[in-house]
């Protein structure tokens, strides 16, 4: 195979931009699975829900999809809060999260997907925005704005959450709740409340990630399934709950997928992330930076 310099450089750029976007998709799971130990496999379904809401607001009111996702952010926060309440009452409190908790999230994933199919059908939907067509060119390097804008928004979201989790009281309490609940109670913080806030935040990120997704590619309800492997591969490889680790792992997966689809063809791309995940689980379950 003839690998030209231009093609190589652009595959790297495409991979990094894709990786930046994957970081936004994964950050919710890094919080729920990585920090809170809640195996929310329905997260990608909520991302697709976010995409469809951005789609509705974009086509009916002509709103920018990313702006629309910020407007509905409180709704997603409330949804996350409600889901955690049910999860806590039904499973976590009784110590049944292993079998039934997983089945619960699997059910949510399935219901969300089927409802979206019933309402919107299986046609691909897309949004209109000024930055979807053009691209920025620097010499041989090509930065499609359709990828660049989501990547930058994603990095901004990442930075904001990182600062929040490491600087504020609630943010530090969220990190603490995964380490020692009793100690947190002694600091006069209610661990259930802290977990509810953290889980609600993780679902809220799905709103933004959904808007970014529909900017990048047209979507249909079952697209979310491809992201299950991606988000968990990144989350595990990044060392469960470590935000910098998540970012590095997202970039790595983005590069891997970009090279696969450039040099082997896009029909192999879904297997890359899941193969990545299987290998990570088999050989490095603690993640790249794990102890």
Q: In the complex with other proteins, which residue's Cβ is closer, 144 or 287?
A: 287
Residues 86-115 that bind other proteins (CB under 8 A): 86, 90-91, 94, 96, 98-100, 102-104, 106-108, 110-111, 113-115
Task: State the burial class of residue 99 (Cβ atoms within 10 Å of its Cβ: 0-12, 13-18, 19+).
Answer: exposed
Residue 156 found at the interface with other proteins (CB under 8 A) = no
Q: Tell me the closest approach of the beta carbon of residue 270 to other proteins, in angstroms.
A: 5
Q: In the complex with other proteins, which residue's Cβ is closer, 98 or 156?
A: 98
Of 290, 4, 22, 8, which is closest to residue 155 (Cα–Cα)? 22
Let me know: does 91 contact 77? Beta carbons within 8 Å: no
Cα dihedral across residues 62, 63, 66, 71: positive or negative: negative
Q: In the complex with other proteins, which residue's Cβ is closer, 121 or 159?
A: 121
Let me know: does 245 contact 287? Beta carbons within 8 Å: yes
Member of 226, 244, 284, 289 binding other proteins (CB under 8 A): 226
Rounded CA gap, 81 and 44, in Å?
17
Residue 118 found at the interface with other proteins (CB under 8 A) = yes
Tokens matching residue 276: 């990545």
Residues 57-86 that bind other proteins (CB under 8 A): 86
Q: Tell me the closest approach of the beta carbon of residue 273 to other proteins, in angstroms.
A: 8
Residues 6+ away with beta carbon under 8 Å from 270: 226, 229
Helix axes of 223-237 and 43-61: crossing angle, nearest 10 degrees? 130
Q: In the complex with other proteins, which residue's Cβ is closer, 65 or 229?
A: 229
Residues making contact with other proteins (CB under 8 A): 33, 39, 41, 86, 90-91, 94, 96, 98-100, 102-104, 106-108, 110-111, 113-115, 117-118, 222, 225-226, 228-229, 232-233, 236, 267-268, 270-271, 274-275, 277-278, 281-282, 285
């Amino acid at each position: 195979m003839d690998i030209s310099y231009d093609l190589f450089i652009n595959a790297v750029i495409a991979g990094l931009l894709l990786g930046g976007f994957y970081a936004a998709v994964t950050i919710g799971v890094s919080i729920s699975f990585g920090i809170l130990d809640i195996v929310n496999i329905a997260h990608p379904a909520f991302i697709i829900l976010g995409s469809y809401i951005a789609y509705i607001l974009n086509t009916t009111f002509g709103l920018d999809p990313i702006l629309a996702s910020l407007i509905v952010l409180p709704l997603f926060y409330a949804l996350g809060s409600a889901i955690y309440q049910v999860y806590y009452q039904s499973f976590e409190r009784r110590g049944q999260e292993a079998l039934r908790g997983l089945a619960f999230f699997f059910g949510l994933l399935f219901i969300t997907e089927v409802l979206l199919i019933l309402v919107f059908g299986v046609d691909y939907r897309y949004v209109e925005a000024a930055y979807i067509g053009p691209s920025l060119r620097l010499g041989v390097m090509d930065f499609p704005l359709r990828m660049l804008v989501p990547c930058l928004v994603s990095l901004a979201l990442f930075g904001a959450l990182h600062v929040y989790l490491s600087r504020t009281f609630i943010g530090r309490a969220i990190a603490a709740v995964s380490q020692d609940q009793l100690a947190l109670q002694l600091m006069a913080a209610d661990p259930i409340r802290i977990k509810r806030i953290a889980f609600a935040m993780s679902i809220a990120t799905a709103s933004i990630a959904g808007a970014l997704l529909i900017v990048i590619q047209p979507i249909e309800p079952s697209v979310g399934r491809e992201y299950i492997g991606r988000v968990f591969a990144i989350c595990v490889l990044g060392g469960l709950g470590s935000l910098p680790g998540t970012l590095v792992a997202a970039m790595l997966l983005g590069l891997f997928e970009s090279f696969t689809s450039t040099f082997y063809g896009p029909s192999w791309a879904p297997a890359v992330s899941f193969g990545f995940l299987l290998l990570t689980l088999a050989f490095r379950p603690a993640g790249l930076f794990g102890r």
